[in-house]
Amino acid sequence: MGILEGKRILVTGVLTDASIAFSVAKLAQEEGASVVLTGFGRLSLVERIARRLPEPAPVLELDVQNTEHLDTLAARVGEHVDGLDGVVHSIGFAPQTALGGNFLNTTWEDVSTALHVSTYSFKSLAVACLPLMKEGGAVVGLDFDATKAWPVYDWMGVAKAGLESASRYLARDLGKQGIRVNLVAAGPLRTMAAKSIPGFKEFEDSWPEKAPLGWDLSDTVPAAKACVALMSDWFPATTGEIVHVDGGVHAIGA
């Protein structure tokens, strides 16, 4: 029996089969969950990728900047499952001007887009799913360690710092409803989001060398396993936590 047997899980953020969310959806199904996906923009592409999962999974449209999408999400998910036990936020975006070493010149307009999509949406998604989480459950988001200023990560780093804080406030406010809220801070992985960061190579070169356990830039499974574990019944008293899945880099001095 899998660790998510009988659980109903919403996974956002599948774009390609390299997406962290794709690995989460696959592992969740393998561990016994019913999975519903959301996609942004290129829905036919997401549907094509979804067909590579072990089981068919419905794909619903969700742009986290679209209030109507959020307001109707619970009803649309409810057409496929009678409730949710887990929600995965695997969404991030920052305009090119907010990344790559342009920190001092990025406009508020571009910063606000990064914060809306990558930070505020963690709260919006969780709240949109509440009507389906009457029996409690788990919300998990994908983080990149925001305790340091990294090369080229710039305003996305600020967005992740906000995500870490938002996660703690959500944990505070949803705890009484039996909802746990946690983040998985993954090391660098070669996904579409990562490839769109100018200078991402700086991470690629140094991370595997620094990590005590080593680090495979193309393997999304370790981060996905942590997401699945956090949604299982094996972390019943853990909330507001950040689990690092980075080969150990966060623990090591320069």
Active site residues: 153, 160
Contact status: 189 vs ligand NAD (CB under 6 A): yes
Q: Give 131's DSSP letter.
A: G
Residues 27-86 that bind ligand NAD (CB under 6 A): 40, 62-65
Helices (H), the chain: 20-30, 43-50, 67-71, 73-78, 108-115, 121-129, 154-174, 192-195, 201-210, 221-231
Report how far residue 105's alpha carbon sits from residue 99's, in angstroms, rounded to the nearest whole number. Answer: 10
Element (H, E) at 182: strand 179-186
Q: For residues 249 and 245, what is the distance between their CA atoms, to the nearest angstrom? A: 9
CB atoms within 10 A of CB 205: 8
Contact flag: residue 157 with ligand NAD (CB under 6 A): no
Candidate segments 18-26, 99-107, 128-136, 208-216, binder of ligand NAD by CB under 6 A: 18-26
- 225, two tokens: 């396993």
252 sits near ligand NAD (criterion: CB under 6 A): no
CB atoms within 10 A of CB 44: 9
Member of 50, 91, 98, 140 binding ligand NAD (CB under 6 A): 91
Residue 187 tokens read as 């090391």
Name the token pair of 133. Answer: 């989480």
Cβ closer to ligand NAD: 43 or 136? 43
Binding mask 190-229 for ligand NAD (x = CB under 6 A): -xxxx-----------------------------------
Site string for ligand NAD, 101-120 (x = CB under 6 A): ----------------x---
Q: Which is nearer to ligand NAD, 86 or 92 (CB)?
A: 92
Exactly one of 92, 95, 137, 222 binds ligand NAD (CB under 6 A); that residue is: 92
Contact residues: ligand NAD, CB under 6 A: 13-16, 19-21, 40, 62-65, 90-93, 117, 142-144, 186, 188-189, 191-194
